[in-house]
Amino acid sequence: MAAVLSFFVRYAPLVYLLLALGLIFGIRRMAQAIAEARQAIFGLEREIARRHTTQAVSVLSLIVILAVGEFLLSVILAPNLPALFRLTTPTLNLLESPTETLPPQLLETVGAATPGPSVTVEVTGCVPGQIAITAPEAGSEIKGQVTLKGTADIPNFGFYKYEFAPAGGDSWSTVEASRKPVRDGELGIWDTSAITPGDYQLRLVVTDNQGNALPACIVPVRIKAP
């Protein structure tokens, strides 16, 4: 359904052009039906002329309804529903259950790869007041369930997610995602109890309502054994 509505919004000029052509055809058909009615002599001719007139009126009414619907959709509704028309990338699948954390069994599978050797990773991509992780702090040791705090609040905010990967690696596993912006508050919970101890990277990714992901805020952490 969203794809169909998005089509009508994206190709509104083409839709208006087709409706204009249909309107011209309908008016011409109406004129022909009126001419037939004026020239009709016998009852059957009048009946046929009335039928043609009814058909022409129906076509014109349908075109007017479609034009009004297209106007309401593209001019009034679409600007107020950015998530429906713009967040159409595969990343949206993560938001079907925005507050549901991946089960420990799955986290164990995706995070069980032996982390590489200890690597000093600098904090990168963080923008105070927009994209930032304030807890856990860079280089801190964590274990069990960890409360993530920080900020995910940008102009034209769409959604955010936080992920982890072994230090020095680029195989990111998503933990949780949300559509609600956060400013100096709790971003979510990260259960590290099923993850192999070692050095990891924690990153916060924020995407706007156009589907554009800004540079991620990446913080190095060390997971300890429970």
Sorted by sequence, the CB contacts under 8 Å of residue 161 that are 6+ apart come out as 91, 94, 174, 175, 176, 177, 178, 204, 205
pTM score > 0.75 for this model?
no
Which range is least confidently modeled, 46-50, 108-112, 214-218? 108-112
**For tokens 């000029």, what's the residue?**
13
| Mean local confidence (pLDDT), 130-145 | 93
> Same structural domain for residues 79 and 110?
no
Average pLDDT, the chain: 80
Q: What share of the chain is helix, strand, coil (3-state, %, to 5)?
A: 40, 25, 30
pLDDT higher than threshold 70 for residue 9: no
In angstroms, the CA 62 to CA 18 distance is 13
- Tell me what pLDDT residue 102 has: 53
Neighbours of 213 (CB within 10 A): 15
> Same structural domain for residues 66 and 163?
no
> Same structural domain for residues 64 and 133?
no
Distances in Å between the Cα of 203 and the Cα atoms of 6, 117, 170 are 32, 19, 11
| Mean local confidence (pLDDT), 3-26 | 78
> Same structural domain for residues 95 and 19?
no
pLDDT higher than threshold 70 for residue 3: no
> Same structural domain for residues 98 and 77?
no
Domains contained in the chain, number:
2
Domain ends where: 85, 112, 141?
85
Q: Which residues pair with 135 in a beta bridge?
A: 149
Q: What percent of the chain lies above the pLDDT cut of 70?
A: 75
Residue 214, phi then psi, degrees to nearest 5: -80, 165
The domain in which residue 146 lies consists of 91-223
Q: Please report, for the domain that includes residue 148, its CATH number.
A: 2.60.40.10
Which range is least confidently modeled, 52-56, 93-97, 180-184, 214-218? 93-97
Tens of pLDDT along 91-136?
444 454 444 455 555 555 445 444 444 445 578 889 999 999 999 9
